[in-house]
Structure 1
């Protein structure tokens, strides 16, 4: 894909792959020259002639990987891993499988990778949280996504909305017949288009002719005053390259340049002093105050294939020494396309962090770096199993742009923030009014599904971000207290507080029974519901306070279904109840249970109502020993 050129870690002559034999010599040379399209043709020709082997398959797989043809890359990696390979091959194979939505197969390859490179941060992250995917998929949606009128059948990416209400972006839409051998597309140029925030419409796309050359240009970043632009360009435009005489090829890199506006035109171009012909610097993003420039690079000191770096801008074309932004952001993979917002939130794309596939967009609040803040995956729908990257956000207009190849080409999408409410729950003792530390607080959606569970701080507080104009509820519990459910009313945005007073448990314990509210079950099911769990916690507390007490659980069903089936169902319910109590630390010898089916209804009825059925689906707790 064209975008990869911008952050490409070029392979120079010293690192080029030697031909395996005379048959692969032509294909190997094309591969070393980064002419992947033609290299693939030559390798496939060898396969068709019956001259394919593990080496040829590996070259094909890597070539397709570099072009991000995920289907073909996975196909050839599958042939390669029939024989032992280096760790990175298993990692690449895993990433290609993930990009095709084959998550279980991807995890198998990641386990092999982790076994070979246990100290790699990517391996550690995977082994510590191999089931990370559901957490990302379940994450509350932060943005709504829609396509833009900017897109064509060519590549478009790297859109940023500047203060002049123009969206600047990079594209291969130019009419030049000259193409890049990387993927056989035209070279990149910089374009801009006016944006009307009132009705979210775009004007006519214009080319930034004063900066474009026959080489690659873009993406760009513009200072808050609109007078300075930082942009990426192929170093060969400045005749800055490594000349490989053996391959008869000039290898350029990507460098960052500065331009200033003069009489409405961009000029006075200057190459930044930390540029080099042996490593790339790309994807610039300037802070609101103009004093810090973030960028992507594979310069010495890079932790992975490419990292996010920053450098101080001191004025008068004076710059500090580039600094790697560190492990909270960078990995052994690729970190690219940084964008710093006006409120100091850094967005970037990564292939080395746990994501949905390919490059994913992550964010980190740099104001909280000292508070162990970590980069977070922004989740769907911004991220997909494909490459999602080059996220930018205009805080003044409250709108973001990002790029993705989810439709086949690199296209630009709009990201509209989902309206949110900061809901703070304060859990207190209902009798004393004192805050309760360590209370368990679960937030539920309108269908009573648990979204997330947290514990209160010393001040009894816990905060959730919820969507505007939606109903939620809070379930709060603490050992020794009755659990409670508290509604969060629909809110148009902003902040809201939810008081959650919990009453100390005062369970009725008779000579023969512990009296709880009914532990009701859903129809034809035996799993413990959230409401049932909160009530059973009271029984757990009673048992902990009376260490000699032994309980027998009787579980019942309603009268729907056959007697034999209901007996079996009620027995499962009794066992579920017993298992829940044991899971809370109660010795198994102190609680047992049995199902009684529909033989002992709480309410005798023939044509029972739904409420009567629910009351008959219950459990009772008899005291066997005190």
Structure 2
């Protein structure tokens, strides 16, 4: 990937050597590095390293130079030397080393280095995302089958990337024959600067016969990533900081990126102007329009950026002016690179990132843009559109599900190639269920039901109908939680793993009422789910966990001063009937004594033990004291009752 377009911020520093000649060479390399002239820097650093010189800073810069040019094999080579040379590294270098290893298939080694990264960067959102999504590789690979992908058929041996469709043309950036007489190659990429090209497309979006696009737009510097309004009369595009023959530079004399606007007049693009939120001091690039064309999304490393580049949005006012850029926030942006946004007509945001868990390099991710401007869960777009290399520049027609993306994956013609795809609808399921009262089984009409993702973020809410029924449409292969709430009931939440095939998943929820309606003859203990007051074996002293349940009974008695209780203790059939009767009676009396000691008058409490005389099932033992019942069946008979009299 060519990072003049990727927008990456680099921390630069200088180092020295003893020999004067080596100082001169390294100084020259650093100068090129700080101006993004990676080709020269790589050559100088590699020559020095091959002569046996070793420097952590040099290995950092060699690793970075290859990493940001997507040569992950060589990046891993130099990061490994850095890793071996220093026992403690900045978290960023563990992350880049791991990404490089993963990109060349060394997943086991990558996992070990990622563990180092997670330990070093516990506050880094990328580490948290990895910790919260340990099975992300399985989820990515499970999406196989969604895309049918082929080379777009218009690629050159140079860099071709980015896609937009307008007036039956595919408009893209290319470094092919853009070099004119006297035009220099870009020192970073070793290729000529990119210009915009256009290829005709048919109804199936099959492109052919690419030609250079409008000369009024193309300059002697980079042009890329155009986006067009629906009426095809306005174009926003990325260009190096160059307008009307004047080249702008930042404080370090580097020409960065800006977004420009052009207007179509008499079939020619005219009135090229830069947008007001550009700056000479940072890059602004890769415009994308919302379906209503009232919001422009873009990538930038402006002040306030969370990582190396973030995604932003800015309002386009009715009078053509612009609002203030707004960072899309931590749901989308990470400490890494987020770039190349694209928004479909059905409000699905696609973007490239190396900060969210992926296969290596830049991966394409997607998130739903909600009506309130917030975002749904960020999802990797799968192991077909993504690879261990850089994948970016996504475009999709929402009606036909055909589109394009760019990748420097193995098997391409040039450094970056455009691929054409046809996509299927993602696997969906219907999640449904019924909300009822756990005690009575009654339907809980109008209960609020909330759907949460794996990280317990709320992603949808609905209201149950008059029969307590609810439904959600969800993605296959994902983990969700369903939460039900109703007034005067305790909320309940359950987690569910969705199958990998289309169909239905049923999750019924039974809620316990927090307002227990009782009458004479009811068991007060059922209001609190008390089935048994526990005592030590063969003893009648109150245990700690039993005291907690009795505190609930105590509170009810204090809130209702006229309530009287008959406390009944029951045992299972094991041991003799006489023994069980005596034991249960002692326990009933111990319960009464505990409540009395807490201030409940004795006149409000009666009780006795019933031993095994009132079994609730057929688990009797007499006369042998033997039974074939399970422990669960015996447990049903061991119970405590607090009958309101």
**If the length of structure 1 is used for normalisation, what is the TM-score?**
0.67
Q: CA deviation at 1:29?
A: 2.1
Q: CA deviation at 1:30?
A: 2.2
1:592 aligned partner: none
2:198 aligned partner: 192
1:222 to 223, 228, 243: 228
2:489 aligned partner: none
Residue 117 of structure 1 pairs with residue 121 of structure 2:
yes
Equivalences for residues 314-463 of structure 1 within 5 A? 314-367=317-370, 373-407=376-410, 409-419=415-425, 422-424=428-430, 426=432, 459=469, 461=471, 463=473
CA offsets 1:601-624 (integer angstroms, 9 cap, x no match): xxxxxxxxxxxxxxxxxxxxx977
2:493 aligned partner: none
Q: CA deviation at 1:174?
A: 2.1
CA distance, structure 1, for counterparts of residue 501 and residue 312 of structure 2: 44
Q: CA deviation at 1:65?
A: 1.4
2:530 aligned partner: none
CA distance, structure 2, for counterparts of residue 114 and residue 466 of structure 1: 29
CA offsets 1:446-488 (integer angstroms, 9 cap, x no match): xxxxxxxxxx996264645579xxxxxxxxxxxxxxxxxxx99
Q: CA distance change for structure 1 residues 274 and 500 in 2, over 3 Å: closer, same or farther? A: closer
Q: CA distance change for structure 1 residues 418 and 72 in 2, over 3 Å: closer, same or farther? A: same
Q: CA distance change for structure 1 residues 325 and 372 in 2, over 3 Å: closer, same or farther? A: closer
1:566 aligned partner: none
Equivalences for residues 225-240 of structure 1 within 5 A? 225-237=231-243, 239-240=246-247
Q: CA deviation at 1:105?
A: 1.5
Q: CA deviation at 1:500?
A: 11
Residue 76 of structure 1 pairs with residue 100 of structure 2:
no
Residue 32 of structure 1 pairs with residue 30 of structure 2:
no
Q: CA deviation at 1:103?
A: 2.1
CA offsets 1:274-295 (integer angstroms, 9 cap, x no match): 1101000000012232211110
CA offsets 1:205-245 (integer angstroms, 9 cap, x no match): 1111221111000110000111000000000455343377x
Q: CA deviation at 1:392?
A: 1.4
2:16 aligned partner: 20
CA distance, structure 2, for counterparts of residue 460 and residue 419 of structure 1: 24
| Mapped contact 1:360–1:387 kept (Cα < 8 A) | yes
CA distance, structure 2, for counterparts of residue 161 and residue 549 of structure 1: 80
SS of equivalent residue, structure 1 residue 277: coil
| Mapped contact 1:174–1:189 kept (Cα < 8 A) | no
2:157 to 139, 149, 153: 153
Q: CA distance change for structure 1 residues 43 and 466 in 2, over 3 Å: closer, same or farther? A: closer
CA distance, structure 2, for counterparts of residue 213 and residue 410 of structure 1: 21
1:95 aligned partner: 99
CA distance, structure 1, for counterparts of residue 297 and residue 311 of structure 2: 7
Q: CA deviation at 1:420?
A: 5.4
Q: CA distance change for structure 1 residues 374 and 201 in 2, over 3 Å: closer, same or farther? A: closer
SS of equivalent residue, structure 1 residue 319: coil
SS of equivalent residue, structure 1 residue 305: coil
CA distance, structure 1, for counterparts of residue 430 and residue 44 of structure 2: 62
Q: CA deviation at 1:142?
A: 3.4
Larger radius of gyration: 2
Residue 277 of structure 1 pairs with residue 280 of structure 2:
yes
Q: CA deviation at 1:434?
A: 7.3
CA distance, structure 1, for counterparts of residue 35 and residue 72 of structure 2: 21
1:612 aligned partner: none
Structure 2: runs of 5+ lacking an equivalent: 436-440, 448-462, 478-498, 509-570, 575-627, 635-645
1:202 to 202, 207, 229: 207
| Mapped contact 2:178–2:193 kept (Cα < 8 A) | no
1:537 aligned partner: none
Q: CA distance change for structure 1 residues 224 and 182 in 2, over 3 Å: closer, same or farther? A: same
2:459 aligned partner: none
SS of equivalent residue, structure 1 residue 81: helix
Q: CA RMSD in A?
A: 3.6
CA distance, structure 1, for counterparts of residue 37 and residue 119 of structure 2: 33
SS of equivalent residue, structure 2 residue 79: helix
Q: CA deviation at 1:414?
A: 1.8
Q: CA deviation at 1:497?
A: 7.2
| Mapped contact 2:434–2:469 kept (Cα < 8 A) | no
SS of equivalent residue, structure 2 residue 254: strand
1:54 to 53, 56, 60: 56
CA distance, structure 2, for counterparts of residue 401 and residue 303 of structure 1: 29
SS of equivalent residue, structure 2 residue 209: coil
SS of equivalent residue, structure 1 residue 374: coil
**If the length of structure 2 is used for normalisation, what is the TM-score?**
0.65
| Mapped contact 1:304–1:332 kept (Cα < 8 A) | yes
CA distance, structure 2, for counterparts of residue 333 and residue 353 of structure 1: 8
| Mapped contact 1:255–1:280 kept (Cα < 8 A) | yes
| Mapped contact 1:7–1:280 kept (Cα < 8 A) | no
Structure 1: runs of 5+ lacking an equivalent: 438-455, 468-486, 491-495, 502-546, 551-621
1:133 aligned partner: 137
Q: CA distance change for structure 1 residues 548 and 250 in 2, over 3 Å: closer, same or farther? A: farther
| Mapped contact 2:153–2:208 kept (Cα < 8 A) | no
